[in-house]
């Protein structure tokens, strides 16, 4: 863990701390550039994220630690699951609710740090109605403005993108928790993100809302969801179908940029240094004051420290997927169609297809889920009991 900086941030010390931190995470610092490890297996990518994950867990401890025993009661042990009776249901997460606390706690177990999402947010728990246990999480937030593979797939002009990006959301967390993950329920959660339930919830929440910047009233139509794989090529999203239709379309890879490698105790010092030594990018008055986001803080701060702003490019590419919710999603997003020809896909239909296509065949030969204990998922209680 990086030592705390003094109240007055010392630029030289901060620069050296950044370099030491990157090397400790496994990055190579060569001739003013950073490079990822030569071998980027999925396990190695997980290791690169470990420091940022540990920092996020530590930051969350104060607000969640005392609730951990209670939260673990929402997680199933293997003997509490009856695969033939699983009955998934989407539960929308409301602000400052018990569901929000469970969402935050479960997301701490992801192998890469889970952000809180940007701007608009729509979150769901996937719950097994048979035993009231958590199956998985869906978290949608505002998409990034520019994403090459997505934009090329849509065929956007700059003008079209400005008008219709509000009809797109990005899945910043998407996956199953154990022991449901042993039964391939990561695929189920991914499929449910494309359900009518999610689309209708988006309309209820954002239909009629006025945007802060453009002051335009949103039409409430969610036409496209995007997501990126956590660990290189995805085994969950690839070839994921509902009947004959491919739900998740692979459209390319990111350039390998982000901020996770600075989210390990350094970001607070970077923010303070930026506030004391850098100017935020000029923006419209309605945006408020200060820096727009974490990336702007880092990109402003690095050159002021004599480092390259290109250090936001960590070189770990992620596969980009688009999930169109209508037959004519690209045409709508390009402004060629004014109406959307929806795919109608209920939670029930999705689960029945998933159950017969993936879950029951897996259950017929793989019973690892039965040995899972919810106590194995404890973060802080295990350490207190000497198990961590």
Over the stretch 133-153, which tens digit does the pLDDT of each residue have? 999 999 999 998 889 999 999
- Tell me how far apart the alpha carbons of residues 335 and 158 are, in angstroms, rounded to a whole number: 12
pLDDT digits (tens, 9 = 90+) for 54-79: 878 888 888 899 999 999 999 999 99
Q: What pLDDT does residue 286 have?
A: 54
Residues 6+ apart with CB under 8 A from 359: 83, 86, 183, 184, 185, 188
Q: Which residue has the higher pLDDT, 199 or 308?
A: 199
**Boundary residue ending a domain (314, 343, 358):** 314
28 and 142 assigned to the same domain: no
Count CB neighbours of 31 within 10 A. Answer: 5
- Out of 3-7, 230-234, 311-315, least confident range: 3-7
pLDDT of 109? 92
Which long-range contacts link 264-268 to residues 24+ away (Cβ below 8 Å)?
264/1, 264/2, 264/21, 264/25, 264/51, 264/52, 264/54, 264/55, 265/1, 265/2, 265/21, 265/55, 266/2, 266/14, 266/17, 266/18, 266/21, 267/294, 267/297, 268/5
Centre a 10 Å sphere on the Cβ of residue 256 and count the other Cβ atoms it contains: 14
Residue 97 shares a structural domain with residue 139: yes
- CA 175 to chain centroid, in Å, comes to 10
Angle at which helix 267-277 crosses helix 294-304, to 10 degrees, equals: 70
pLDDT tier, 369 (very low <50, low <70, confident <90, very high otherwise): very high
Is residue 51, in this structure, part of any structural domain at all? no
Mean pLDDT value across the chain:
86
Do residue 133 and residue 225 come from a single domain?
A: yes
Q: What are phi and psi of 138, to 5 degrees?
A: -130, 125
Residues 33 and 110 in one domain: no
- Indicate whether 124 and 166 sit together in one domain: yes
CB of 240 closer than 8 Å to CB of 249: no
Domain-terminating residue out of 314, 340, 355: 314
- Tens-digit pLDDT profile for residues 238-286: 889 999 999 999 999 887 777 777 766 677 788 888 888 888 775 555 5
Whole-number pLDDT of residue 289: 60
- Residue 1 scores a pLDDT above 70: no
> What is the dihedral angle through the alpha carbons of 305, 310, 315, 316, rounded to the nearest 10 degrees?
80
- The pLDDT value recorded for residue 385 is 52
Least confident range from 16-30, 147-161, 249-263: namely 249-263
Which residue has 């937030």 as its token pair?
Answer: 141
- Expressed as residue numbers, the domain containing 35 is 8-39+259-314
Please, what is the angle between helix 11-25 and helix 42-64, to 10°? 120
Residue 378: closest CA among 370, 368, 388: 388
Residue 154 and residue 95 in one domain = yes
Alpha helices, DSSP H only, in 108-250? 148-154, 158-164, 185-192, 196-206
| Least confident window among 113-117, 124-128, 249-253 | 113-117
pLDDT at 117: 56
Of 288, 314, 340, which residue sits at a domain end?
A: 314
- For the stretch 288-346, pLDDT in tens is 566 767 778 888 888 888 888 888 887 777 899 999 999 999 999 999 999 999 999 99
Is 178 contained in some domain? Answer: yes
Q: Clarify whether residues 178 and 327 are in a common domain.
A: yes
Is 134 among the domain residues? Answer: yes
387 has a pLDDT exceeding 80: no
Contact between 258 and 299 (Cβ < 8 Å): no
**Do 30 and 144 fall within a single domain?**
no
Range 115-141 burial, b when 16+ CB lie within 10 A, else e? bebeebbbbbbbbbebeebbbbbbbbb
Output the pLDDT for position 300. Answer: 85
Query: In this structure, are 115 and 137 located in the same domain?
Result: yes
pLDDT for res 382: 63
Q: Are residues 92 and 164 in the same domain?
A: yes
Q: Are residues 145 and 275 in the same domain?
A: no
Q: Is the pLDDT of residue 105 over 70?
A: yes
- 202 lies in some domain: yes
Q: Does the residue 46 lie in any domain? A: no
How crowded is residue 192: how many other Cβ atoms within 10 Å of its Cβ? 25
Q: Which two tokens stand for residue 26?
A: 């496994």
Domain count, the chain: 2
Asked if residue 329 is part of any domain, the answer here is yes
| HSE of 267, CA atoms in CB hemisphere, 13 A | 18
Same domain, 288 and 197: no
Residue 2 is predicted with a pLDDT of: 42
Helix, strand, coil shares of the chain as percentages rounded to 5?
A: 45, 15, 40
Does residue 32 sit within a domain? yes
Q: Which residues of 1-20 are buried (b: 16+ CB within 10 A; e: fewer)?
A: ebeebeeebeeeebbebbbe
Which pLDDT value is given to residue 7? 42
Residue 59 lies in a domain: no
């Amino acid at each position: 863990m990086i030592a705390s900086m003094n109240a007055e941030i010392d630029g030289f010390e901060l620069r050296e701390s950044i370099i030491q931190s990157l090397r400790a995470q496994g990055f190579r610092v060569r001739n003013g550039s950073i490079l990822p490890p030569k071998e980027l297996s999925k396990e190695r990518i997980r290791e690169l994220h470990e420091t940022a994950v540990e920092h996020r867990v530590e930051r969350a401890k104060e607000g969640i630690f005392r609730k951990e025993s209670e939260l673990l009661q929402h997680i199933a042990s293997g003997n509490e699951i009856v695969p033939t009776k699983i009955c998934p249901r989407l539960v929308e997460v409301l602000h400052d609710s018990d569901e929000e606390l469970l969402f935050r706690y479960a997301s701490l177990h992801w192998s890469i740090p889970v952000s809180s999402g940007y701007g608009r947010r729509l979150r769901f728990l996937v719950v097994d109605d048979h035993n009231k246990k958590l199956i998985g999480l869906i978290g949608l937030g505002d998409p990034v403005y520019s994403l090459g593979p997505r934009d090329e797939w849509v065929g956007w002009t700059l003008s079209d993108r400005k008008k219709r990006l509000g009809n797109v959301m990005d899945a910043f967390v998407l996956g199953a928790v154990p022991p449901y993950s042993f039964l391939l329920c990561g695929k189920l959660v991914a499929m449910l993100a494309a359900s009518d339930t999610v689309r209708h919830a988006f309309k209820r929440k954002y239909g009629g809302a006025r945007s802060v910047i453009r002051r335009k009233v949103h039409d409430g139509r969610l036409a496209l969801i995007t997501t990126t794989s956590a660990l290189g090529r995805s085994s969950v999203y690839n070839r994921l179908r509902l009947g004959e239709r491919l739900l998740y379309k692979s459209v390319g890879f990111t350039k390998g940029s982000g901020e996770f490698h600075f989210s390990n105790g350094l970001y607070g010092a970077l923010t303070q240094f930026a506030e004391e030594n850098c100017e935020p990018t000029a923006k419209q008055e309605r945006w408020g004051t200060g820096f727009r986001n974490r990336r702007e803080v880092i990109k402003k701060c690095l050159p002021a420290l004599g480092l390259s702003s290109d250090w936001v490019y960590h070189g770990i590419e992620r596969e980009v997927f688009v999930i169109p919710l209508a037959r004519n999603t690209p045409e709508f997003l390009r402004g060629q169609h004014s109406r959307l020809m929806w795919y109608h896909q209920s939670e029930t239909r999705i689960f029945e297809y998933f159950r017969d296509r993936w879950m029951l065949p897996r259950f017929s030969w793989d019973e690892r889920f039965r040995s899972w204990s919810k106590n194995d998922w404890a973060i802080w209680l295990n350490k207190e009991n000497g198990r961590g």
